[in-house]
A and B are shown apart, each in its own frame.
Chain A
């Protein structure tokens, strides 16, 4: 064993984040990486925004125009999106399908995760694993058998075709996420409640769920985003324009053969990302807390 000089050990222990107090260090260690990270994350949004308000000519050619900012500002693309397509209706459809599917999935996932994590029956681990494996089956394999079921239920070309199929990937995902969160809630809390005569349902409702709010929000946000962006099922199970969701509607209406209406496509993508960004901004603290460790014993 090599003896380390005492002074070095002391410096390292006492140092902490003191080195960030000097400006050069702060620039190199914090602001520069943060700036690069922000640039990478926000550039697509910037690109969407400027493309939304550029004229068609400006989008098609760089001669006399600049790639990174707008020379001729126009609302033409927004107008086409909002008034020449059924975009507002697609947004409403997407919201309806997304909220309903997310709620349904969370509802089921709470019971599934609680049963697997807290009831401690034999084979619970295997059930958890099986649910996770279900999440790994890609939609591109599932969509034809699901289409048969949807047809037999008479749900083809209705929002319920999506509301009932999205949980096939949302429930496994939410269950797996909530299982991890429920695992972090001390069992002693439940034991106390059981001693006091609480039923399992009361424990879930009055103890587990209030403690698991960050986990529920996190699972909800993920489920919301997955539903919001879903493309394949929405494409296959829906035909009528008035029932389409925004991701499918935008692509099917604004790509004409090999002619892409880039401005309106970008406007559709930009406006479509607003609800998700809005949701994240409200719940970001809960979301982070659920990711970083939940309830500590």
Chain B
């Protein structure tokens, strides 16, 4: 259920009966000297994206409940799919009402920074205490020198592949360069085991692989000075690569959204795709050991630019100015990100979510199952979608309009030549930067 009640809490903590009292004791102890003191009678309402995995939500709600019991701050949690969350968050910002905290996706905070509480004090405190933020976290969180959101987690999006099928094609694993990767994909296709990457408006998977392929060849939407430069020889080179790569895809990938590659991979229809750890987790959950035993994850191959160019998904916590209880919101977020709590949360997330603070990179969740290992590096390796420029309103709007994804899809499907697709993307992107 979306609505979190005390009754739900009792249900979720049944499996963690031993941890319950310990967590509560820790919360009470923490509340004695908490850095941010909630307003008297504070009540909070949080809207979050729908969980990827039940154990993550259980851990999250257990921490929330402990906080409520220790501080007396009532908290209500509602959840929505992350695509549906974005219009809600935008309306809350425009209208000035709605949840106090929205656990949002990407850099939507840059669309309405004035509606958000300055959380620099929270982020500076956490950064100093926990080894500092990864650069990507700072990029997503800071605007004009102040933090407009707390980078709570990143979600890694890497290559998912069938180990034995890749070996049959003559490779030990996913090659570390794009040339060999194309060769592998061709061989897999020839063996009747094609790959598939989402070419529809897939917010996570589509953006992740489209940006990787663009950047890997030296292309980008904007340069360091925020000039729109997507129509470049480098972009066209990347789209020519895409044309060849797309020939190795399974039929139907042109219309894929975020969920389609999961289904195709689990149906053994494809050998390689890009995704979070959700395919692996679903295979484990459904007892599909033929898949879970035979799959693994890998970094994206490096392109002609000679360095990793990956895009992973950010999930920041945004506190809205319309909230009557901003200090309570800060207090709650701080509680969640203190080491004892955040470690429990990461454990529950089983690799879906990656820490934005360096102190958590040695968490056991990354070593207890080797197939999770690459996800540990999501924050470290991710670039923002504005790379190499700065995040801002225009960059976020271009991203929200799927300009890069559509350009790649048009080239991949042959609807436009690489040159035409790049020109069209340039026109679309310029609209936002001119305005």
Residues of A in contact with B (beta carbons under 8 Å apart) = 56-57, 60-63, 84-86, 143-144, 147-148, 151, 156, 232, 235-236, 239-242, 244, 248, 251-253, 255-260, 262
Out of A63, A84, A257, which one reaches B278, CB within 8 Å? A257
- Find out whether the CB atom of B50 lies under 8 angstroms from the CB atom of A258: no
Q: In the complex, A147→B88 CA distance in Å?
A: 10
Q: Which residue of A lies closest to B99 (CB)?
A: A239
In the assembled complex, 5 residue pairs joining A and B whose CB atoms fall closer than 8 Å, in A order, are: A147-B95, A232-B87, A239-B47, A252-B2, A256-B52
Q: In the complex, A148→B97 CA distance in Å?
A: 9
Residues of B in contact with A (beta carbons under 8 Å apart) = 1-3, 45, 47, 49-53, 78-82, 84, 87-88, 90-91, 94-99, 204-205, 258-259, 262-263, 266-268, 275-276, 278, 282, 286-288, 352
A258-B94 contact in complex given A241-B2, A252-B50, C-beta closer than 8 Å: no
Residues in B neighbouring A85, C-beta threshold 8 A: 1
Chain A nearest CB from B109 CB (Å) reads: 18
A239-B88 contact in complex given A61-B268, A151-B97, C-beta closer than 8 Å: yes
A235-B50 contact in complex given A147-B94, A241-B1, A251-B81, C-beta closer than 8 Å: no
A241-B2, A258-B204, A258-B278 known; 16 other A-B pairs, CB under 8 Å? A60-B266, A60-B286, A63-B268, A86-B1, A147-B95, A151-B95, A151-B96, A235-B80, A235-B84, A244-B2, A253-B1, A256-B52, A257-B258, A258-B258, A259-B278, A260-B262
Chain A nearest CB from B62 CB (Å) reads: 19
Q: In the complex, A85→B2 CA distance in Å?
A: 8
Residues in A neighbouring B87, C-beta threshold 8 A: 143, 232, 235-236
- Find out whether the CB atom of B266 lies under 8 angstroms from the CB atom of A240: no
Select the residue from A84, A235, A257, A259 with max chain B CB neighbours within 10 A. Answer: A257
Q: In the complex, A62→B264 CA distance in Å?
A: 10
- Find out whether the CB atom of B259 lies under 8 angstroms from the CB atom of A156: no
Residues in B neighbouring A256, C-beta threshold 8 A: 50-53
Out of B51, B78, B96, B267, which one reaches A257, CB within 8 Å? B51
Chain B nearest CB from A270 CB (Å) reads: 19
Q: In the complex, A151→B96 CA distance in Å?
A: 9
Residues in A neighbouring B49, C-beta threshold 8 A: 257
Q: In the complex, A29→B90 CA distance in Å?
A: 54
- Find out whether the CB atom of B80 lies under 8 angstroms from the CB atom of A260: no
- Find out whether the CB atom of B88 lies under 8 angstroms from the CB atom of A235: yes
- Find out whether the CB atom of B50 lies under 8 angstroms from the CB atom of A253: yes
- Find out whether the CB atom of B288 lies under 8 angstroms from the CB atom of A57: yes
Residues in A neighbouring B352, C-beta threshold 8 A: 257
- Find out whether the CB atom of A241 lies under 8 angstroms from the CB atom of B267: no
Q: Which residue of A lies closest to B291 (CB)?
A: A61
Q: In the complex, A144→B163 CA distance in Å?
A: 49
- Find out whether the CB atom of A257 lies under 8 angstroms from the CB atom of B47: no
Q: In the complex, A242→B275 CA distance in Å?
A: 33
Chain A nearest CB from B75 CB (Å) reads: 14
Residues in B neighbouring A60, C-beta threshold 8 A: 263, 266-267, 282, 286, 288
Out of B3, B97, B99, B282, which one reaches A241, CB within 8 Å? B3
Q: Which residue of B lies closest to A255 (CB)?
A: B81
Select the residue from A85, A151, A239, A262 with max chain B CB neighbours within 10 A. Answer: A239
Q: Which residue of B lies closest to A86 (CB)?
A: B1
Residues in A neighbouring B287, C-beta threshold 8 A: 57
- Find out whether the CB atom of A148 lies under 8 angstroms from the CB atom of B95: yes
A259-B282 contact in complex given A61-B267, A62-B267, C-beta closer than 8 Å: yes
A240-B78 contact in complex given A148-B95, A253-B2, C-beta closer than 8 Å: yes
Residues in A neighbouring B263, C-beta threshold 8 A: 60, 260, 262
- Find out whether the CB atom of B78 lies under 8 angstroms from the CB atom of A241: yes
A260-B267 contact in complex given A56-B286, A148-B95, A252-B2, C-beta closer than 8 Å: no
Q: Which residue of B lies closest to A85 (CB)?
A: B1
Out of B84, B278, B288, which one reaches A251, CB within 8 Å? B84
A144-B94 contact in complex given A86-B1, A239-B99, C-beta closer than 8 Å: yes
- Find out whether the CB atom of A61 lies under 8 angstroms from the CB atom of B266: yes
Q: In the complex, A60→B268 CA distance in Å?
A: 9
A257-B91 contact in complex given A56-B286, A60-B286, A252-B50, C-beta closer than 8 Å: no
Residues in B neighbouring A63, C-beta threshold 8 A: 267-268
Residues in A neighbouring B79, C-beta threshold 8 A: 252
Select the residue from A251, A252, A256 with max chain B CB neighbours within 10 A. Answer: A256
Chain B nearest CB from A151 CB (Å) reads: 5
Q: In the complex, A247→B413 CA distance in Å?
A: 32
- Find out whether the CB atom of A257 lies under 8 angstroms from the CB atom of B276: yes
Residues in A neighbouring B82, C-beta threshold 8 A: 257
Out of A56, A144, A244, A260, which one reaches B95, CB within 8 Å? A144
Q: In the complex, A148→B288 CA distance in Å?
A: 49
Chain B nearest CB from A26 CB (Å) reads: 38
Out of A143, A156, A232, which one reaches B97, CB within 8 Å? A156
Residues in B neighbouring A248, C-beta threshold 8 A: 84
Q: In the complex, A66→B91 CA distance in Å?
A: 45
Chain A nearest CB from B285 CB (Å) reads: 9
Q: In the complex, A84→B54 CA distance in Å?
A: 13
Chain A nearest CB from B195 CB (Å) reads: 17
Q: In the complex, A60→B94 CA distance in Å?
A: 41
Residues in A neighbouring B78, C-beta threshold 8 A: 239-241
A258-B91 contact in complex given A151-B96, A151-B97, A252-B50, C-beta closer than 8 Å: no
